[in-house]
């Protein structure tokens, strides 16, 4: 029985998939060799576990070659790996006003180094018109970076339409799938996505400290970290092949084993089934609080399972504190590491309270959350 009503799955999922903690503990208790670093049984066992998880991720995102899936520490690591590994001074990059700082900050740094940056404005509910990307492409455009769904309000971006545009223009497309990997079906090859970054600890239901970057065949990335890979040790340069070229240092085998168990759970239950459950809960929650006097909703309610709102002029962090301290409801409030998105939504000063139910959330919890928000609004608005 959980005492806390957890509505912060967009930050990190909880509870994790059944068996994740046990799988990680078992590896630590019964032998955790270094994958790819030795020929003894424990090392080989770890290597097999890493390969199995890599294959599961490839299947999940529709990639035919598991070697194109590179393990990272999180989505931020993966995004930085792609952005810094692709862009050089003189290149032009296009992104949007709904991006997370994991995209905006590296791009701002590169713009100071001579990379040309265009930030496309989105509508007041976070939508992007794909034609805006087409109109922004220039002769030196190398990369378009696009979130799949806003981490602030959940609005989906037109990934398929943008991918068609970038393919036609011979421009690379990097998708930030932090809010969608494991929550929405993704097929990188059929969609024409060149690179995709995601964490393992959100909708993939795995542990923190895990993530991955998918790199399409033919896309070359300059490593941002150099070191041992357990392969081609006779070379003083980084290996040319993936995933070795982008996986310097010892991998988080314990976390990867946990992620693998979570991916098995997703495969058994189905992403579509889990999404239907989450979407239903989010829609009911959005409908319930929409009628509360003083409540303002953000986004269009048609993307990720996120319900973003404010109560009157109350600070979002104050609302979050009351929900936690008085009702035992865990939510995320503030700017969500996405100030440009808040500028777009008109909430930079107030922030937003973000509710994000997960696969283990219940309708009873949704009712309790709606009732708590109603009580706060009655007392304070």
Q: CA 187: distance to chain centroid?
A: 15
**CA–CA distance, 119 with 113 (Å, rounded to integer):** 17
Q: What is the chain's length?
A: 381
Residue 153 appears among annotated catalytic residues: no
**CA–CA distance, 128 with 122 (Å, rounded to integer):** 5
Paired tokens of 16: 């994790």
* Angle of helix 101-112 versus helix 75-86 axis, rounded to 10: 30
Q: Among all chains, which residue has been given the structure tokens 């079906």? A: 185
Judged by DSSP in three states, 246 sits in helix
**Element (DSSP H or E) covering residue 330:** strand 329-330
Three-point CA angle 23, 71, 209, nearest 5°: 55
Considering the candidates 53, 93, 153, 337, report the single residue annotated as catalytic: 337
What is the torsion angle, in degrees rounded to the nearest 10, for the CA atoms of residue 212, residue 213, residue 216 and residue 219? -150
* Angle of helix 363-380 versus helix 271-290 axis, rounded to 10: 30
Of 314, 353, 308, 355, nearest in space to 334 by CA: 353
* Residue 51: CA count within 13 A, CB half-sphere: 8
Buried-exposed string 176-185: b where 16+ CB fall within 10 A, e elsewhere: bbbbbbbbbe
- How is residue 126 annotated by DSSP? S
Three-point CA angle 159, 160, 161, nearest 5°: 95
**CA–CA distance, 92 with 143 (Å, rounded to integer):** 7
Question: The dihedral of CA 88, 92, 98, 104: what is its sign?
Answer: positive
Buried-exposed string 95-108: b where 16+ CB fall within 10 A, e elsewhere: bbbbbbbbbbbbbe
Paired tokens of 149: 């769904």
Q: Which residues are catalytic?
A: 337
């Amino acid at each position: 029985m959980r005492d806390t009503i957890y509505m912060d799955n967009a930050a990190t999922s909880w509870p994790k998939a059944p068996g994740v903690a046990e799988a990680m503990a078992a590896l630590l208790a019964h032998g955790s060799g270094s994958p790819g670093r030795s020929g003894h049984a424990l090392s080989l066992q770890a290597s097999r576990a890493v390969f199995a998880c890599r294959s599961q991720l490839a299947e999940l995102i529709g990639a035919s070659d598991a070697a194109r899936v590179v393990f990272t520490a999180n989505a931020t690591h993966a995004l930085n790996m792609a952005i810094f590994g692709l862009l050089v001074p003189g290149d032009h990059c296009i992104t949007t006003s709904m991006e997370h700082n994991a995209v905006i900050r590296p791009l701002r740094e590169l713009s100071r180094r001579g990379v040309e940056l265009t930030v496309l404005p989105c509508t007041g509910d976070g939508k992007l018109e794909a034609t805006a990307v087409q109109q922004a492409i220039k002769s030196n455009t190398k990369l378009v970076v696009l979130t799949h769904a806003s981490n602030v309000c959940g609005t989906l971006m037109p990934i398929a339409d943008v991918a068609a545009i970038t393919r036609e223009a011979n421009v690379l497309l990097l998708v930030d799938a932090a809010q969608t990997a494991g929550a929405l079906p993704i097929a990188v090859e059929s969609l024409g996505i060149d690179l995709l970054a995601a964490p393992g600890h959100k909708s993939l239901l795995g542990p923190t400290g895990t993530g991955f970057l998918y790199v399409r065949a033919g896309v070359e990335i300059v490593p941002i970290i150099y070191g041992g890979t357990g392969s081609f040790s006779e070379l003083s340069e980084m290996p040319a092949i993936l995933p070795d070229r982008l996986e310097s240092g010892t991998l988080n085998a314990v976390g990867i084993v946990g992620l693998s168990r979570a991916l098995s759970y997703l495969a058994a239950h189905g992403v579509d089934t889990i999404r239907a459950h989450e979407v239903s809960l989010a829609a009911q929650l959005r409908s319930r609080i929409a009628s509360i006097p003083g409540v303002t909703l953000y986004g269009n309610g048609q993307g990720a399972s996120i319900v973003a709102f404010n109560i009157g002029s109350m600070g979002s962090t104050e609302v979050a504190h009351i929900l936690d301290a008085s009702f035992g409801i865990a939510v995320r409030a503030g700017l969500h590491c996405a100030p440009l998105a808040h500028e777009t939504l008109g909430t930079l000063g107030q922030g937003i309270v973000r509710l994000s139910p997960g696969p283990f959330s219940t309708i009873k919890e949704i009712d309790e959350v709606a009732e708590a928000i109603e009580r706060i609004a009655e007392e304070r608005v």
